[in-house]
A and B are shown apart, each in its own frame.
Chain A
């Protein structure tokens, strides 16, 4: 049971945003999508989320085409954290995060919903901001609250029994994240990635667009490297983070070293030759 795009093509006018892209994420794994600006990463997230219909190819969740999923069932199975970070009106950080529970409670959040959100706000180091108006938070703080909201959507409330009618609650669930760490300082980047790692270990399938190759190397089980609307390589960090591949994709010299005390590569982008 996976979340999969197969042979997906997306065109806008004469431009091809995705060409024959196949990506798959299974429960329990973190898949990082990397690549230069304009490679099609955000389009891929939008297509996986169902915001964009592919012109060719298919997107399926648990073997069923996305369009065949009832809206609410889909919302209970996968959360999306987009790059959009504006909230109208003076909703507080807690209220924004609590909206992640909407597909689960349908309008009246329970104590269990509030407990899940409180735990997650704590986990993203935003408990002290719970009562603050979301719009007044810094970019990084807003990003952490948005992450808490996305995770809250696919988290079991304490006491949820995965049986009978709530079988959907126990079914595999997925997180699609567009640059979840782009505005975070290093400590909070690792905080966020460790939280996603714990989610994956608890059975979530995580697919995240990440610009930081070292963050991808440290936390992703697999990396999908994209360029020019295509998938260039898919594999473990060691398989994908190769200097020749990265230099071809990013167009600048890349130094790839073994990490001094971890078992994944370390990537250093070098200035292009002939320039100071």
Chain B
């Protein structure tokens, strides 16, 4: 919350935290003893608040998608943005944006819904391809999944670049937007759709937490404990695909958030997937809001792609995880 109050104030038009509180309080009929300008009020309500709320929701979505993917594939190395699901969502979202522009509904509620649906369907297809390639007799081989995801991500990103170039529609976004992410184009309908999808999805994930804990023992063992593993696999796959699709539809592919956040939360809260899901959603929201502040203030007025920041932190963490796990298996 504090991060949000500070974050909405930072930007080309500076708004002090006290002014933020005064503006927001005034909206609900409370007068606080701090004064603010009209320009600050307009910027805050029309641009900053939607952007920061969208950032928080997307951060929570990526982090929860990471918990779901890692829990299902029983490895801390999974990230939907790294295994092609994010790139699939980006391709679907770019195509659907083109369609939304043609229908004249872009940046409105039906358009946002269309883009999210496009992202979801394409992400589902990408997830199915990765699963198909990486699973041998029903078991997913993590190394194969990462390699297959690498190739699929590159292929789908190239396709997205092709679609964006061929579309010649500015609303379809740039290649940099889809592959590195940005919150500069957030509109109100983004926040609404994201909230309606992300919050229930995280609630379902938290509810399924104990079953993911059982899955850590192995699929057979989870079955012996009464868990319907086939159903759990389908539900969790739909969850991380939905979360990824929503996140990508709003702000493109932001890599390593899904990998990094659960990895930071587990040492603090333990391994319980229920706690890790809730903790990751909160930490993901907070850290992405802060990362976005950095992205837009570091070289202001030029905005950095937010994926630049998350990758600078997340990629070394991924390498560290690989090093650590290599030590574990060698023992």
Contact = CB atoms under 8 A, between A and B. Distances in A.
Interface of A: 49-51, 71-72, 74-76, 79-80, 82, 84, 86-92, 95-96, 99-100, 102-103, 106-108, 135, 153
A102 B214 contact: yes
B209 interface: yes
A73 to B, nearest CB: 8
Contact of B271 (A82, A86, A91): A91
Nearest to A103: B226
A107 B272 CA distance: 10
Contact of B224 (A49, A89, A90, A135): A49
B228 A71 contact: yes
Most buried by B among A49, A82, A102: A102
B226 A87 contact: no
B210 A107 contact: yes
A89 B271 contact: yes
Contact of B226 (A49, A72, A84): A72
A21 B266 CA distance: 47
B74 A88 contact: yes
Interface residues of B, number: 27
Interface of B: 74-76, 207, 209-211, 213-218, 220-221, 223-228, 266, 270-272, 274, 328
Given A82-B218, A88-B74, A135-B328, 11 more contacts: A71-B223, A75-B224, A75-B226, A82-B221, A88-B75, A95-B270, A96-B217, A99-B214, A102-B225, A107-B207, A107-B274
A82 B220 contact: yes
Contacts, number: 71
B30 to A, nearest CB: 39
Given A107-B210, A153-B225, A84 B216 contact: no
22 contacts: A50-B223, A71-B227, A71-B228, A72-B226, A75-B224, A82-B218, A82-B221, A84-B221, A87-B216, A87-B217, A88-B215, A89-B266, A91-B213, A92-B271, A95-B272, A99-B217, A102-B211, A102-B225, A102-B227, A103-B225, A107-B209, A107-B274
A91 B269 CA distance: 11
Given A88-B74, A88-B216, A90-B266, A100 B271 contact: no
Nearest to B328: A135
B225 A91 contact: no
Nearest to B231: A71
A131 to B, nearest CB: 11
The 5 lowest CB-CB distance pairs between A and B, nearest first, are: A75-B226, A88-B74, A103-B226, A107-B210, A72-B226
A226 to B, nearest CB: 21
A135 B227 CA distance: 22
B216 A91 contact: yes
A261 B164 CA distance: 85
A103 to B, nearest CB: 4
Contacts of A99: 213-214, 217, 225
Contacts of B225: 75, 99-100, 102-103, 153
B186 to A, nearest CB: 34
Contacts of A86: 218
Contacts of A84: 217-218, 220-221
Contacts of B272: 95
Contacts of A79: 224
A80 B220 CA distance: 10
B193 to A, nearest CB: 30
